[in-house]
Amino acid sequence: MLDRVPSPALVVGAIASVQFGSALAATLFSRIGPAGAVTLRLTVAALVLALIWRPRTHGRSGHDLRLAALFGLVLAGMNLSFYEALHRIPLGIAVAIEFVGPLGVAIAASRRAVDLLWAALAALGIVALTRAKTHGIDGEGVGLALLAGVLWGAYIVLNTRIGRAFRDATGLAMAMCVGALALLPLGIASAGAHLLEPRSLLPGAAVGVLSSVIPYSFELEALRRIRMAVFGVLMSLEPAVAAVAGLIVLGQSMSARMVVGIALVSIASVGASRRATPAVGGA
């Protein structure tokens, strides 16, 4: 069915699914906290992916299993730090700042001098975002978004290795299970029995599907047919889509300075991604 959908539409659909899923997750923070929300997200995603791909440890080398475990821990840390940032700063700004991860990977893998310009442009955009005069910005939130970006960069590098070590999505499914188990104690400590209440569980399940299952499926199909440069350019829409999701779902308005900052980060991402590997699967 997905093979009949144009690849660009799949990528844009994946981006919209991730960002509206993040906005929905933010509505759960007052009830179960960021740790509770991300625990529900990864647990649901792990269950769905495990049912689809049925990953098995039997016959896998110790190196492959350690790689999947590390990937899962990075995945858990990336999502937790992003949700903690989202608890403190607007969604569009959190995503724009988080883009330092894939931008850094793209620039580090390049030998083009022009990429220094893209790095400077992204830095200028982040400065514009962090200096915006609004109650929605605080230093802790910015720091957590930067940490999520660093972990996103590590995620991209590990994702490439996982793709070589595992057939299909079995490595991701295994890693998602590790990440969900790693976050479970934090989620229980944060939310306790509230995790199992229908008003938490049902939206949490929707977040897991919107933020993990749907985007991964769409991106996997799109990457079979689309050039990586085009994929990278389309992914650069993510901060703008996040700002729209924040406005619609959370009522987070954007000042002119914020819009300029997001635009600068997106332009830098377009420039840096034209010859780089795609930044699949952000938080």
Mean pLDDT value across the chain: 89
CB–CB of 45/213 below 8 Å?
yes
246 touches 92 (CB < 8 A): yes
Task: Decide if 276 contacts 110 (C-beta within 8 A).
Answer: yes
Q: Looking up tokens 């989620």, which residue turns up?
A: 187
Higher-scoring residue by pLDDT: 106, 126: 126
- Helix ranges (H only) for the chain are 7-26, 29-53, 62-86, 91-98, 100-108, 114-130, 139-165, 170-191, 198-208, 214-222, 228-235, 238-250, 256-273
| Confidence band for 209, pLDDT divided at 50, 70 and 90 | very high
Q: Which of 65, 48, 11 is nearest to 218 (CA)?
A: 11
Least confident of 80-89, 102-111, 271-280: 271-280
Per-residue pLDDT, 127: 85
136 pLDDT above the threshold of 60: no
Residues 6+ apart with CB under 8 A from 193: none
pLDDT at site 133 = 57
Percent residues over pLDDT 90 in the chain: 56
Q: Alpha-carbon distance 261 to 69, whole Å? A: 36
Quote the CA–CA distance of 277 and 159 in Å, as a whole number: 11
Of the two residues 228 and 226, the one the predictor is more confident about is 226
Give yes or no for a contact between 162 and 280, defined as CB atoms under 8 angstroms apart: no
Rounded Cα–Cα distance for residues 258 and 278 (Å): 25
Asked if 134 and 93 count as a contact pair (C-beta separation under 8 A), the reply is: no
* Whether 149 contacts 74, CB under 8 Å: no
Compare 276 and 44 and report the one with higher pLDDT. Answer: 44
pLDDT above 60: residue 73:
yes
| Residues 79-96, mean pLDDT to the nearest whole number | 95
Q: pLDDT tens digits for 7-24?
A: 899 999 999 999 999 999
Question: Is pLDDT of 134 > 80?
Answer: no
Instruction: Report the pLDDT value the prediction gives residue 280, as an integer from 0 to 100.
Output: 60
Contact 10, 1 (CB under 8 A): no
Cα(220)–Cα(10) distance, rounded to whole angstroms? Answer: 9
What pTM does this model have? Answer: 0.90
pLDDT tens profile 180-206: 999 999 999 999 999 999 999 999 999
